[in-house]
Amino acid sequence: MKTTDVPRYTPDWLELRESADAAARSPELIEELRPRLSGPPLVIHDLGCGTGSMGRWLAPRLSGPQLWILHDRDPDLLDRAALRMPRAAADGSRITIATARGDLARLTASTLDGASLVTASALLDVLTAEEVDGIAAACAAAQCPALLALSVVGRVEITPADPLDAEIAEAFNAHQRRGLLVGPDAMAVASETFARYGATVRTHASPWTLGAEQAALTAEWLRGWVGAAVEHRPELAGRAEAYLRRRLAIAATGALRVVVHHRDLLALPASRTMGAAA
């Protein structure tokens, strides 16, 4: 599967999930990353940037002048991201924005020449093992760290429980592995791949915790979760429709609690000339 075949995410969905993403991402990994950042300026490549939520979260947490290069295959998302990126770092230094439209399968060390960091959010699980290898190889050749956030791990907790929870979850996870996608195996695949290229790999839990205050996101996530499960197993359709109605009704009362488990990954190259810490 080519990256160009990865499903497009609508701006509305990306906007809806942004606050949950921001609350979930791991600040602990940033602390491990800081001493390994080269600059100034920091040159940061954001892969599959979408509307730019990773940049809006990370850029204000780093000090010093920054150049953000936003990568996406969707020109409309690139325009949105560029317009909404912050323009000042944690210490007030200037942030400059550039965009690069294209296929992540063409990412190479030359693309990352001079890069301080490669980052992405909710990307690894919609790639193939070959595409993950391409990113790891490019980062290794460029001696560039990677901070890759919010990969699903195939585990969801829903309270109160329903007898169909496990069956829907299993079908959804199988859907995520369709074709050659790594899906919920993304952390294991990426950790092994970056390590094979000599990187030191750290991971940290980054779950969504959704309750009454995230009712709109919970409802939209439920529709997508159940829909993907039915797409993989059409014979579930009747029971899944009734299941979704039950779940949405509970969510509308504010009584549904959902934990969608993700993990963030930090890969530090085997050797790196120490630069100015952010």
The pTM of the full predicted model, rounded to 2 decimals, is 0.91
Domain assignment present for residue 52? The answer is yes
Domain assignment present for residue 2? The answer is no
Domain harbouring 178, CATH code: 3.40.50.150
Q: Rounded mean pLDDT of 173-197?
A: 97
Report the range of poorest mean pLDDT among 5-9, 168-172, 210-214: 5-9
What percent of the chain has a predicted confidence (pLDDT) above 70?
94
Cβ contact 163:68 at 8 Å = no
Which residues form the domain of 247?
11-268
Domain assignment present for residue 5? The answer is no
Domain assignment present for residue 276? The answer is no
Bridge partners, 43 (sequence order): 67
Given a cut of 50, whether residue 6 has pLDDT beyond it is no
Q: How sure is the predictor about 8, in pLDDT bands with cuts at 50, 70 and 90?
A: low
Task: Supply the mean pLDDT for the chain.
Answer: 92
Domain assignment present for residue 275? The answer is no
Sign of torsion over alpha carbons 181, 49, 106, 132: negative
pLDDT at 271: 67
pLDDT at 275: 39
d(CA 49, CA 265): 17
Over residues 215-271, the pLDDT tens digits come to 999 999 999 999 999 999 999 999 999 999 999 999 999 999 999 999 999 999 986
d(CA 49, CA 193): 22
- Three-state DSSP state, 158: strand
| H/E stretch holding 152 | strand 146-159
Q: How many domains does the chain have?
A: 1
End-to-end CA distance of the chain: 37
Domain assignment present for residue 277? The answer is no
d(CA 264, CA 278): 20
One-letter amino acid at 249 equals A
- Count of C-beta atoms within a 10 Å radius of residue 274: 9
Given a cut of 50, whether residue 278 has pLDDT beyond it is no
pLDDT at 273: 42
Q: Which two tokens stand for residue 233?
A: 């197993």
Closest CA to 48 of 132, 163, 155, 157: 132
Domain assignment present for residue 245? The answer is yes
Report the range of poorest mean pLDDT among 37-46, 94-103, 109-118, 267-276: 267-276
Q: Rounded mean pLDDT of 34-38?
A: 91
Domain assignment present for residue 3? The answer is no
Bridge partners, 272 (sequence order): none
